[in-house]
Amino acid sequence: MSFLRKSACMAGALLAIASFAFGAGSSESTGAAPASGVPAATAPRTGIKFTPPVEMKLVLGTTEAFRKGETVNDNVLTRWALERLGIKMTYLWESTTNNSAYENKIRLELAAGSAMPDILYLNAGSQLLISDLISSGIFREAGSLFDAYASEGWKKAMAQEPTAFLPYTVAGKRMGVPVLDFAMHQESVMTVRQDWLDKLGLKAPTTLAELEAVFDAFTNKDPDGNGKKDTYGMALSLRDGFSNSYAYAGWLFGMFGTLNGSWNDWNGDGALEYGSVMPGAKQALSYLRSWMAKGYLHKEVGLWDGQKAQELIANGQAGVFFAPRWAHSVIEAPMKNDPSVKWKSYPLPVGPTGKVMRHASTAVHGVWLINKNFKTPEAFFAYQNYMMDNYASPSVGGEFENGMFEGYDYIMVDGKVSTSNNAFPKDAPRIRPYKHSLDSNGARIPYQRLEAYSKIYNKEPLVLPYDIKEAAGAKFYDIEVGAITLAQRAVRKENLFVGMPTATMQSVGELMNKLEQETFLKIVYSEEPLDAFDAFVKRWSELGGTKVTEEVNAWYKSTK
């Protein structure tokens, strides 16, 4: 991933997450916070009903339908919030999230001077819009409110992602409340055709040298036994960068002490540098260049997006791929349709000097901005406290033990919980109310899912309702890949620049991205010599890289 896209999306990713946004009204309530400064009351409110009710004026971006007869202002979730918490959720407008319609609507409202919602959600990838909204003066500092009103459970969950507030910190002020997601969602493991290894008498590779030997055998020794030279060592996608989640190549850069598209203190001197211009990137490119020349990679990888690369896996022509848990759905159908096909996941192998590293993905998928004129922000925190403490981590016998609302996101069939669409009556199809919530996922605790998979994988007793639910719904690859991802967490390397795009990034970032992508591809395809990398580094610095590095380090120092 390029440096501008990487910083704008905060270390991960190419995330594609649906957007939702909300706001809150201005009803008076005991313990109200002033429009600025530290809140007057500091006790977190959890499970206490507001009497009289307080209003939260919201806006909603979603592709999830409502049940027939329900509307954005009258549905199972809004009725629940009023009855359980004394919070009246009133939506100013709703929009689809397709084709950036939701973000465009917010920009239009901002330009027109329309009233902004009191609690506004933005997806993490909308960094420029977030920056404009913070700069508008409409939204207040939010960190002190979180400190005052967030429950201990929510604070513990937030502590699992130590840099969560940094992307939304301006001049030392935390200007938004991060929306938590599951940890390591975009982080990869190595997955191999185990049946090919067994047929050829090979073991799973643990080093780069062993991996190359496997690539060679999978390419040249007819592992599928069809008498044709039509198999490849590895599935890869390079069209959109060298860190595509569906067919990831960043692990190779990690073997040489750097990560493409990521800012970190690679030399240990306290200064951040851009991973794609480090010497290790040249070494990684030399291997990709060699593998292309030897036929280990399909000639079209430079034109393929991630899904196209996965077709090579699904068609039985690739023997190895690197991808996160969710991208392993590609192996399900081949293994089901042909019992002789066996894929197995393993930890990332180590490089020539014992190094192993992968891009760390953030456990934050967005941010809530709080309107400075919102007089009862404790209502927002009361709502999300309840969701974090009860929905994210449901208790045995609790109201969310089986899901959010019976008859909506789950149904009981013969005394058992079912979330199958086929289990629902045709006149009342399955609806996911959490997609209409303040958090489009209801609420999430970063390491909860991977910890559940690890328990299942290691055959530990399952007691928590969340763990039992995951065991019932997880695919076989979820469990194996999830457990390995968590077990190898020590090799993840954070992108330490998670601030707003700098001025130089905004002005010449796309040109720098293009230069990087074109140069790297030409080297891989031997259209340019390997030493073209050195010329790239010089040109990158001249084009704006030197200035960007100064800006990134100035931001980094400001966070200390």
385 and 264 in a single domain? The answer is no
pLDDT given for residue 439 in this prediction: 83
Asked if the structure places residue 148 within a domain, the reply is: yes
Per-residue confidence (pLDDT) for residue 25, from 0 to 100: 32
Q: What is the CATH number of the domain that holds 139?
A: 3.40.190
Boundary (domain end) residue, out of 373, 391, 409: 391
Q: Exposed, middle or buried, 461 (CB in 10 Å: 0-12/13-18/19+)?
A: exposed
Same domain (yes/no): 269, 381: no
Residues 57 and 136 in one domain: yes
What DSSP designation does 436 have?
A: G
Burial of 334 (0-12, 13-18, 19+ CB in 10 A): middle
pLDDT of residue 183: 97
Specify whether 251 is located in the same domain as 170: no
226 and 159 both lie in a single domain: no
pLDDT of residue 42: 55
pLDDT of the residue at 46 = 74
| 101 and 41 within one domain | yes
Burial status of residue 143 (CB atoms within 10 A of its CB: 0-12, 13-18, 19 or more):
middle
Q: Which domain holds residue 114?
A: 3-184+364-391
Of 502, 494, 518, 526, residue with least CA distance to 12: 494
Shared domain for 151 and 252, answered yes or no, is no
Residue 349's H or E segment, with its range, is none
Query: What CATH number did the domain enclosing 312 receive?
Result: 3.40.190.10
Do 434 and 400 contact (CB within 8 A), yes or no? no
**What's residue 43's pLDDT?**
63
Residues of the chain short of pLDDT 70, as ranges, are 1-43
Coil/strand/helix, residue 93: strand
Flag whether 429 is in a domain.
Answer: no
d(CA 425, CA 537): 61
Question: Residue 433 domain-assigned?
Answer: no
Q: What residues contact 509, with CB distance under 8 A and at least 6 apart?
A: 2, 3, 4, 501, 544, 548
Which residues does 414 contact at the CB level (< 8 Å), separation at least 6?
Answer: none
Helix (H) or strand (E) holding 287: helix 279-293
391 near 443, Cβ under 8 Å? yes
Residues 25 and 152 grouped into a single domain? yes
Is 24 among the domain residues?
Answer: yes
How many structural domains does the chain have?
Answer: 2
Residue at 473 is within a domain = no
Q: Does the residue 400 lie in any domain?
A: no
The token pair at 518 is: 């074109």
The reply to whether 461 falls in a domain is no
Residue 74 lies in a domain: yes
Q: Are residues 282 and 178 in the same domain?
A: no
Q: How far apart are CA 434 and CA 411, in angstroms?
A: 15
Same-domain check for residues 211 and 98: no
Strands 416-418, 411-413: pairing kind: antiparallel
The verdict on 378 and 341 lying in the same domain is: no
Same domain, 195 and 171: no
- Buried b vs exposed e over 237-264: b needs ≥16 C-beta within 10 Å? bbbbbbbbbbbbbbbbbbbbbbbbbbbb
pTM of the shown model: 0.88
